[in-house]
A and B are shown apart, each in its own frame.
Chain A
Amino acid sequence: MKPKVAFFDFTSCEGCQLNKLNLENDLLDILKHIDLVEFREAMDDKADFYDIAFIEGSISSPSCVERIHDIRRRSKILVALGACAVNGGVNAMKNLHPIDEVRETVYKEDKYLFATLPAMAVSAIVKVDYEVHGCPMTQQDFLKLLIALVLGKEPPKYGSPVCVECKLNENECLYNRGMVCLGPITRGGCDAICPSFGQFCTGCRGLLDDPNLDGMLEVMTSHGISLDEAKKRMLLYNANEVQL
């Protein structure tokens, strides 16, 4: 029996789903091994039960809370797909400002027209069985997890920082090139794609299990940016995780 697989989007840009549709060379092979039963962005069908439910996006409104309960109840395995679902991602930056100010910023006098909550990880509301990190998630990460789940095996975990893969790629450290980078505290598994293309790590895969945040701030400030700026950089993808 092929597993019944579904994709759901919550508060997000839907870029992780798009990355999946961008698996052009592998898409038809993948579809041979799963039974895709629900994927609103690309198809009309609906189903009652899912072996694997992939959740993209943060929980940020009362209707999101209701929907995720309903999906969890009908799912055997639930996977958080991408930074928004794993820890709130960039959405969580709104949590750094007073909620009424945030509402007024956008809707002014109509600020109570639409109900909103702080942007939360899926795991803040229901049990999450597995996580695919990144903004966007990488196609390879997603494939590795999907293959493991289809085979009934345990998916790989990434415990080392982005710096490890960056060194394996023989990149010159961006700090030596006058940039400020979050590689030392960020969970790897992305093949250090941003530093390899000359751009600093934004921390999109979330923090390591045991990151040295004080040490990171010291490194950043010793390379010429203010403590305030260093903290802001650290919060870009980790507003729900870092307490500074």
Chain B
Amino acid sequence: MSRDLNIKVHHLTRVEGHGNIVVNMKDGVLEKAHLSIVEPPRFFEAMLKGRSFHEAAIITSRICGICSLGHQLTSLVTTEDALGLEISEQTRLLRKLLVHGATMQSNILHAYFLAAPDLLGAGSVFPLIATHKDVVLRALRMKRVANDIGDIVSGRAVHPITPVPGGFTRIPEKAELLEIKRKLLEETLPDGLETVKTMQALAGAIPQFERETEYISLKNADEYALYEGAIFSSDSGSIPVKDYLDVTNEFVVDHSTSKHARYNRNSYFVGALARWNNNHAQLGEEALAAAEAMGLKPNCYNPYMNTIAQVVEVVHCVVDSVRIIDTLIANGLKNEKPNQTPTRYGRGFGSNEVPRGILFHDYTYDNKGNIIQANCVIPTGQNLANIDNDMLKLVPEIINKSKEEITLNLEMLVRAYDPCISCSVHMLEVDFIE
């Protein structure tokens, strides 16, 4: 069909950070379809220069309010690798509990507040308070319990306080953990199963679109990888975290203040759908049942289904949080002090799955424990080239729809990736000029 089409969505709503969608078609030929990132750069790498290992995680958690816990923990893992700081099993378990809380709160926020309004034809969650009050109250209740985990274990859900290099400045009390467990079992698990039913009912409004691509996530032999593991590509298998630069291959494009990434192809996918495709076999029966109910099958190539994969993860995190709390209490909570005596100085690497995908930090320390070089690669930055490629395939497929429908489909596509745009422009490759 011969058609002229110009779409420009300025400051896309219901995403974190500032992005524009630009599509140009002339005489039926698609000249341009991309997500333009216009977030002002913050230059975190320059700020980190000369900063002490006590401050690195405090600073990097400020890259992003939504993923502050993910940045904080990845920063700590990186510092501990660089300085040779061993952590205890209790620290590892408490961190995994925090990751579950942060994943739950972020995935719930995205599914209910950012993505669901599209499926119901609303402009935001606020009109839904009048029309679907029980659903909104359920979302708020689930988010509250997820944030309780952050508040109790890390002092504060946004910009956590207690996780420091080598451990925690405060260990939660048994009674506090038992109260979380009670809420998870009595409130959040039933709410999670209701969420699955809600999404099942809305699934018909999810656009049918497929584009097979390379899926990259962490992989861990022992469990569904969120905290710690090796890099895994659906195309080429396992890669050690220290070789992450071979995977990310970042490059600058002029329509984005955030760099793009590519590995075996010209783009790859990170996030809940990549984790699902690579690691679904390690989920428990509750999460697998939720996936089946919502129509999410292994090796799903529809990016819009990322939101559904996030809901599956919520169920997984609720169930696994209860298991972690039981283990912590069975082991006996110990009032440990953080191990902050470096055994070496040099370069360290860290990688965790944060809600939006795989995150890398890489610091080099001098022999006083101050950073001389840092590099961080953020999930949303890694997804940007893949989003552009999706748009290039999607626009010709839906070109007979109205301009409004096409625009909505494109907005929903970008939102499905749950982009965290301020993150993606905050941390880019760094070479400090000495």
Contacts and interface: CB of A to CB of B under 8 A. Distances in A.
B125 interface: yes
A202 to B, nearest CB: 6
Interface string B117-151: 00000011110010000001100110110010000
Interface in B255-285: 257
Main secondary structure of the interface of B (DSSP, over half): loop
From A27, A43, A106, name the one whose CB has the most chain B CB atoms within 10 angstroms.
A106
A164 interface: no
Contact of B428 (A27, A64, A107): A107
A125 B168 CA distance: 40
Interface in A67-90: 89-90
B342 interface: no
Contact of B431 (A93, A94, A105): A105
A233 B156 CA distance: 22
Nearest to B66: A18
Interface string A11-23: 1111111110110
A15 B428 contact: no
B430 interface: yes
Q: Chain B, interface size: which category?
A: 35 or more
Interface stretch (A141-149, A153-161, A190-198, A213-221): A190-198
Given A43-B13, A135-B159, A105 B66 contact: no
Nearest to A239: B47
Contacts of A170: none
Given A13-B422, A43-B13, A105-B431, A21 B46 contact: no
Contacts of B124: 39, 42-45
A25 interface: yes
A103 B42 CA distance: 10
A105 B66 CA distance: 25
B314 to A, nearest CB: 16
Interface stretch (B50-58, B195-203, B224-232, B354-362): B50-58
Interface of B: 11, 13-18, 38-43, 45-47, 49-52, 55, 58-59, 62-66, 68, 105, 109, 113-114, 123-126, 129, 136-137, 140-141, 143-144, 147, 155-159, 161-162, 164, 169-170, 252, 254, 257, 422-423, 426, 428-433
14 contacts: A14-B422, A15-B66, A15-B159, A24-B140, A24-B141, A24-B144, A31-B126, A44-B124, A91-B42, A94-B43, A94-B47, A105-B49, A193-B155, A202-B58
